Copies of this chain bind each other. A is one copy, B any other.
Amino acid sequence: MPQAKFTSGPTLAKVPIFSGLTEAELTFLTERAVPRRYTAGEIVFGEGAPCSGLYVVETGHVRIFKSSANGREQVLSIDGPGSSIAELPVFDGGSYPASAAAIDDATLLFISKQDFQALCLAHPQVALKVLRVVGSRLRRLVGIIEELSFTTVRHRLASFLLRLAEKEGKRTREGVEINLPVSNQELASQIGTVRELVSRNLSRLQAEGMLKIEGRSLTIYDLKALEAELHSAE
């Protein structure tokens, strides 16, 4: 948890929960926000640790995850610049419900519980904004539960690929090309399974002619066909 003298001027203004604050309020907050730098893989906070405040991602990305006794992990959320994390445990006084780690080198701004609560009381709109972002977080969690409870690994993998294709797929002559940004291990913990099943299901999709695997780059021949997968046996 190294500290840095570091001006973090314009950052907070871009954070959804702080939008709408006046210049003065922002600088007030900026003065109290403590920047912290993390190297790739470094733990920001561990599940169960007492919660001392919230973080805003300034640069880099953070992974929020649960880990199990036998070494598996389940990713709950991945947050990039502008996202706030751990807004919730700040209020209910409990400990962090999951762990957070930097994915790449990252800078976070730490805002103490006290400062933040004071801010919320002084500016009810902030609390409402927090409720809004928390709402979307809750939706995401419910979505994870739905997928885990109702669908197969194959299905979850297909949705993952489709989401990815939608976001950063490149159209080519053959179809849509995407780059797997993460290892199979990481992909597995994002969709709630193990390394081997990711590998196997990818191969199987290839064998079925849905896509082509070239190293870490995939070409999906037909998005519609893959999508149809999802509705076939859900």
Contacts and interface: CB of A to CB of B under 8 A. Distances in A.
Interface of A: 66, 68-70, 72, 74, 76, 88-89, 91-94, 97-98, 117, 120-125, 127-128, 130-139, 141-142, 144-146, 148-150, 192, 231, 234
B66 A146 contact: yes
Nearest to A72: B150
In the complex, the 6 A-B pairs of residues with the closest C-beta atoms, listed nearest first: A92-B135, A127-B127, A68-B150, A91-B131, A148-B148, A74-B149
Contacts of A149: 66, 68, 72, 74, 148, 192
Given A120-B127, A127-B124, A139-B97, A145 B76 contact: yes
Contact of A134 (B88, B98, B142): B88
Contacts of A125: 121
9 contacts: A69-B231, A93-B132, A98-B142, A120-B124, A138-B141, A141-B142, A145-B145, A148-B192, A149-B192
A138 B234 CA distance: 26
Contacts of A123: 124
A127 B127 CA distance: 6
A160 B94 CA distance: 23
Nearest to A69: B234
Nearest to A192: B149
A94 B137 CA distance: 12
Contacts of A91: 128, 131-132, 135
Contacts of A137: 138
A132 B72 contact: no
Contacts of A145: 66, 74, 76, 141, 144-145, 148
A138 B85 CA distance: 13
A20 B152 CA distance: 47
A94 B138 CA distance: 12
Contacts of A98: 142
Nearest to A123: B124
A145 B231 CA distance: 23
A98 B142 CA distance: 8
